[in-house]
Amino acid sequence: MQDVEVIEDASAAAAALDPIRARLLGELATPASAAELAGRVGIARQKVNYHLKALEARGLVTLAEERRHGGITERLLQASAASYVVSPTVVSASAADPDANADQQSAGYLVALAGRLVREVGALARRAGSSGKRLPTLTIDTQIGFRSAEDRAAFADELTATVLDLAAKYHHDDGRPHRLVLASHPLPEENR
């Protein structure tokens, strides 16, 4: 089971967003049979089976184990990931294009950048996983409290200069290209 899976297929996204199927995915953090799930979620086993087949057809659940009970084979399924993120390309082929927004300090630009990040890293992670490799990434996530807009602007200027200096120091034209994204946004009230 992956930690996070990026969904890039519209039918898989629709399946994952269906309330019953989303609940089944949540229940399948550990392998379970249709009968076990039916008891947990209070839905008939046949209906659970119907939804599981739809999820399995879209690659959102996988066979974890088969058990034989007399002449009956019980299939235990597990979610393919602990959580899912829907790629912006599911909505539109031109989604998540930060180049379409000239204002690099706008919320729209940041959201498009985040969408591109989901799309690119999701595709790279899928390729790495299918070849049995690990995708090397770097993530820095921190919080900072600015006393004033002037402090925020001074921090942005200093951070920009530092990053540009580091990029110039380590960049090689014949090296493997990497994308570096730094973003800052106010924390929503509920996250404070």
pLDDT for res 116: 86
- Name the CATH topology of 2-84: Arc Repressor Mutant, subunit A (1.10.10)
Instruction: State the Cα–Cα distance between residues 56 and 62, nearest whole angstrom.
Output: 6
The pTM score is 0.72
156: tokens are 């942005």
**Would you say 85 and 17 are in contact if contact means Cβ atoms under 8 Å apart?**
no
Q: 50-103 pLDDT, tens per residue?
A: 999 999 999 999 999 998 888 888 899 999 999 899 988 888 776 667 877 778
**Would you say 56 and 77 are in contact if contact means Cβ atoms under 8 Å apart?**
yes
Nearest to 104 by CA among 11, 183, 190: 183
Instruction: State the Cα–Cα distance between residues 13 and 82, nearest whole angstrom.
Output: 15
Amino acid at 110: L
The domain spans of the chain are 2-84, 87-191
Q: 95-149 pLDDT, tens per residue?
A: 667 877 778 888 888 888 888 888 888 888 888 878 888 888 888 889 999 999 9
